[in-house]
């Protein structure tokens, strides 16, 4: 239904009649990510810095999508530094056979 190329030339954004909005790598043609807005996509566009994608539907929905430009190792490092893992309860320790 619609297509946009990012200002930095790295991405292509496509909007489909089934509601899918797909982010592609411009050079390789690889699908990087996909979301569904549950409505006919009427327009897609990038912000001027290529860090945000926008999609609108025929019924007036507007979504904004932050594009993370990190490699998998960078993302894994970020997750390791920023995630929070709560302590297990005593019941969970028993359930998973973890010594107290």
Taking the mean position of all CA atoms in its chain, how far away is CA 86?
Answer: 25
**53 contacts 21 by C-beta, under 8 angstroms:** yes
pTM (2 decimals)? 0.67
Q: Locate the domains of the chain by residue range.
A: 2-69
Q: Which residue has the tokens 């899918």?
A: 20
The domain made up of 2-69 has a fold known as Thrombin, subunit H (2.40.10)
pLDDT tens, position by position, for the chain (100 residues)? 899 999 999 999 999 989 999 999 999 999 988 999 888 999 999 999 999 999 999 888 899 988 877 777 887 887 888 888 888 999 998 898 887 6
The region, left, alpha or beta by phi > 0 then psi within -120 to 50, assigned to residue 8 is alpha
Strand-pair partners of 66: 52
């Amino acid at each position: 239904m619609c297509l946009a190329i990012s200002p930095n030339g790295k991405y292509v954004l496509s909007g489909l009649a089934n509601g899918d909005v797909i982010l592609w790598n411009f050079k390789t043609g690889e699908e990087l990510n996909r979301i569904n807005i549950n409505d006919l996509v009427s327009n897609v566009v990038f912000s001027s810095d290529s860090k945000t994608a926008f999609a609108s539907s025929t019924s007036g929905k507007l979504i904004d999508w932050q594009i993370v430009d990190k490699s998998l190792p960078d993302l894994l490092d970020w997750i390791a530094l920023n995630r929070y893992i709560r302590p297990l309860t005593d019941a969970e320790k028993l359930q998973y056979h973890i010594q107290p």
